[in-house]
Chains A and B, each alone.
Chain A
Amino acid sequence: AQKITQTQPGMFVQEKEAVTLDCTYDTSDQSYGLFWYKQPSSGEMIFLIYQGSYDEQNATEGRYSLNFQKARKSANLVISASQLGDSAMYFCAMREGGQAGTALIFGKGTTLSVSS
């Protein structure tokens, strides 16, 4: 079974609108972490936001927030007030277990296109 599922291959949004990118995960661990990364066309991986499984509040970083619904095993990324520079591929990832030195498991990504 897929550990990280991103069901939206592509999303389209207009500038200044908010957009939600979906991510569901599958793990039997009680301790885990969820990440979102942005990959622009230049190819680098840019860390956006992190949510720990024991964090009670949803993570926020500027225009990014993570809508964490533990019971549903979902960790959707919300981008408020989209900008043209937000056009990129977005990956959801998970670290299983409580150890910091654990590899990340990535979803297949969602391509976001922001138009003016």
Chain B
Amino acid sequence: NAGVMQNPRHLVRRRGQEARLRCSPMKGHSHVYWYRQLPEEGLKFMVYLQKENIIDESGMPKERFSAEFPKEGPSILRIQQVVRGDSAAYFCASSTGQGYEQFFGPGTRLTVL
């Protein structure tokens, strides 16, 4: 049973480009969370999605960031017109929505030059 998968593991973008981060939840999981970890910091919640619905986006910056979790395919976190401050590790976690545990993916390390 494969765990949560994220790709790419490392992503380098120049300022102004777009970054697309993908997350495939564990089999049977329909709840996805995105977190961001800035250097030397803990993880900060960004957005919580279920299939085709955004449940809580209270942690998402108002501009340039968007997320989706379509009926088919992975969840996508999209960052438009990236800036240096977007450089961070972005983690996806998934759950069944029933139990308490969230299973984390390996993260995508975004570097903005």
Total contacts A-B at CB 8 Å: 63
Interface of A is mostly: strand
Q: A43-B89, A44-B107, A45-B91 are in contact. Are A104 and B102 (CB under 8 A)?
A: yes
Q: Which of B42, B50, B96 contacts A108 (CB 8 A)?
A: B42
**Chain B 95-113 residues near chain A, CB threshold 8 A:** 95-107, 109
Say yes or no: is B54 at the interface (Cβ < 8 Å to chain A): no
Say yes or no: is A100 at the interface (Cβ < 8 Å to chain B): yes
Residues of B within 8 A of A104 (CB): 33, 35, 43, 45, 93, 102
In the bound complex, do residue B95 and residue A100 qualify as a contact, i.e. CB atoms below 8 Å apart?
yes
Q: A44-B104, A44-B107, A47-B103 are in contact. Are A101 and B45 (CB under 8 A)?
A: no
Residues of B within 8 A of A37 (CB): 104
Q: A43-B109, A100-B95 are in contact. Are A109 and B100 (CB under 8 A)?
A: no
The contact string, 1 if C-beta is below 8 Å from chain A, for chain B 26-41, is 0000010101000011
In the bound complex, do residue A100 and residue B91 qualify as a contact, i.e. CB atoms below 8 Å apart?
no
Interface of B is mostly: strand
In Å, the complex CA distance between A13 and B64 comes to 44
Interface size class for chain A? 20 to 34
Residue of B nearest to A108 (CB): B42
In the bound complex, do residue A101 and residue B95 qualify as a contact, i.e. CB atoms below 8 Å apart?
yes
In the bound complex, do residue B97 and residue A101 qualify as a contact, i.e. CB atoms below 8 Å apart?
yes
Closest CB in chain B relative to A60 CB, distance in Å: 16
Residues of A within 8 A of B45 (CB): 103-105
Q: Which of A4, A93, A103, A109 contacts B48 (CB 8 A)?
A: A103
**Interface residues, chain A, CB within 8 Å of chain B?**
4, 33, 37, 43-45, 47, 50, 52, 91, 93, 95, 100-109
**Interchain residue pairs A-B with the least CB separation, the first 9:** A106-B42, A45-B104, A103-B45, A106-B43, A101-B97, A44-B106, A108-B42, A33-B100, A109-B42
